[in-house]
Structure 1
């Protein structure tokens, strides 16, 4: 597993001195393994490596311990692979690694949510250095297209529980934890920014398009996340997985970017990696003082953005509705 480290990038528009030391964070890019014990050892080794390099918090990819299930539609019992929020193997791994290293550990799991439809939640968690759950966020936007049939496995997080921002004691930062498909929506990044987040973490499982094997979405994926970080003044931490799983080949490329749109450190497409970067968190303040997007918003003009989705006109007025590629 390769380790890549980036120091704090130079401030570009600092108007007054920062009194905050850089926050060192890490992420793990991993390949799934059917042997659960082996997979846990690989992830623990990555966490230990990042902590050994001084990371205060380490972030793991989407549904960390599971083979990605949604490359095919679910059967009659979609939640068979789901686990209890704090009583399953994902929390156990994160809590043990957090306590052993004295750091925060973030992970992602398929959370049980008993209901007649059998669906669960796609949930990100943050565990403190003492092994306590200090953050939990459920994926809000659920993909429905070929190779990513997540609507047959996951139910969306409830609106009343959307976009929480956490500032746990000892972290020294305000953090949001949406998941994967959420990263494509500018409304998500803006909601976290308005909630005071400085860092947004997107545990991710993204790769090939089975119907269009020559289409590489990696550049688009990275560009939209970086752009959302620019427009909302956020550091973006994006741990993806790599390797082949069923119908999908995940393209890795995990990265950490800053509010100026600089990619501070990036993993390769096809190798497991540990990324570590120092974040100068007051660069959020610096950038939004220079380009005050949040101050000059016009929410009184955005009514159309909050109207219910019209399935007959999802692409807007004057555009015929077409079927999603399945």
Structure 2
């Protein structure tokens, strides 16, 4: 498994000296395997290697242990592959690896949520070095288009009471947000986490080809929008994606870690399993937002349209009729 590391680049706008040591974080980019034992072994190797490089936090891709299900619409029992939050294999993998390495492990799972519609939650978790669950966030925004029929599998996370929780786990000296994949396209998500005081936002991801438009490579757009949201909200972005072919979707890897200045600190290839490790100077968030004070100069009194209900007849805005979602 390829390993790439990056040390902390120089701050570009430091005006107040930092007394915080850099935080070394890692991620694992993997290819799904049908053999559960083989898959678990590969992920465990990735976590171990990141920890061996000094990472104190290791992050894994979306629905870590499952074949990506949503390349086709769900059948009558969409939640068949869902698991209990702390009683299933994903938590077991994260907890065992966290205890063995003395690190925090972030993972993602299809969480059971018994209800008449059979849907579950797409849930990100954080496990402490003691093997305890210390954070959980359910994916808020759910894709609905061709190759990503997630609305037939996943229920959207609740908007109340706290849809954008920020965690400061004891022993890590960092404030984290844990949204998931499709959430990464929305500037509102990054801004809400930033206003909640997050320094690092982790986006477990499963994204790749567009089955209806196989010649349309969305990888550059995907990366640009995440990096841009990190810039405009002053965030470090940690983005572990999958690689390899799964059904109708070929995942394009390209996992990366970026900083608030928009610098991609380290990046994985498109088509190879990899471990990325980077040192984060978290006070660079303060440095950047002191020079470009986006949060201070906001005009929330002018943003009413952003919180109005979605007009399903005119989702593209006033004067534009809706087109059909590509299925």
Q: State the TM-score, normalized to the length of structure 1.
A: 1.00
Matched, 1:200 2:201: yes
Provide the residue aligned with 1:79 in structure 2. Answer: 79
**Per-residue Cα deviation, 1:263-288 (whole angstroms, up to 9, x for no partner):** 00000000000000000000000000
RMSD, matched Cα: 0.3
Task: Report the secondary structure of 1:107's partner residue.
Answer: strand
Matched, 1:219 2:209: no
Task: Report the secondary structure of 2:34's partner residue.
Answer: coil
Provide the residue aligned with 1:283 in structure 2. Answer: 284
**Distance in structure 2 (CA, Å) of the matches to 1:9 and 1:163:** 29
Provide the residue aligned with 1:123 in structure 2. Answer: 123
Runs of at least 4 residues off by over 6 Å = none
Q: How many residues align?
A: 326
Task: Report the secondary structure of 2:70's partner residue.
Answer: helix
Structure 1 residue 231, shift from structure 2 partner: 0.0
**Per-residue Cα deviation, 1:54-101 (whole angstroms, up to 9, x for no partner):** 000000000000000000000000000000000000000000000000
Provide the residue aligned with 1:320 in structure 2. Answer: 321
**Per-residue Cα deviation, 1:124-178 (whole angstroms, up to 9, x for no partner):** 0000000000000000000000000000000000001411000000011000000
Provide the residue aligned with 1:29 in structure 2. Answer: 29
Task: Report the secondary structure of 1:69's partner residue.
Answer: coil
Structure 1 residue 9, shift from structure 2 partner: 1.1
Task: Report the secondary structure of 1:135's partner residue.
Answer: strand
Q: State the TM-score, normalized to the length of structure 2.
A: 0.99
**Per-residue Cα deviation, 1:32-60 (whole angstroms, up to 9, x for no partner):** 00000000000000000000000000000
Matched, 1:63 2:88: no
Matched, 1:7 2:31: no
Provide the residue aligned with 1:165 in structure 2. Answer: 166
Structure 2 unaligned segments of length 5 or more: list them.
Answer: none
Matched, 1:228 2:238: no
**Distance in structure 2 (CA, Å) of the matches to 1:33 and 1:182:** 26
Structure 1 residue 254, shift from structure 2 partner: 0.1
**Distance in structure 2 (CA, Å) of the matches to 1:88 and 1:102:** 21
Structure 1 unaligned segments of length 5 or more: list them.
Answer: none
Provide the residue aligned with 2:255 in structure 1. Answer: 254
**Distance in structure 1 (CA, Å) of the matches to 2:298 and 2:16:** 24
Provide the residue aligned with 1:311 in structure 2. Answer: 312
Structure 1 residue 230, shift from structure 2 partner: 0.1
Provide the residue aligned with 1:54 in structure 2. Answer: 54
**Distance in structure 2 (CA, Å) of the matches to 1:227 and 1:168:** 27
**Per-residue Cα deviation, 1:225-249 (whole angstroms, up to 9, x for no partner):** 0000000000000000000000000
**Distance in structure 2 (CA, Å) of the matches to 1:321 and 1:65:** 37
**Distance in structure 1 (CA, Å) of the matches to 2:128 and 2:236:** 21
**Distance in structure 2 (CA, Å) of the matches to 1:282 and 1:322:** 44
Structure 1 residue 302, shift from structure 2 partner: 0.1
Task: Report the secondary structure of 1:71's partner residue.
Answer: coil
Provide the residue aligned with 1:190 in structure 2. Answer: 191
**Distance in structure 1 (CA, Å) of the matches to 2:185 and 2:20:** 30
Matched, 1:151 2:151: yes
Structure 1 residue 16, shift from structure 2 partner: 1.4
Provide the residue aligned with 2:39 in structure 1. Answer: 39
Provide the residue aligned with 1:267 in structure 2. Answer: 268
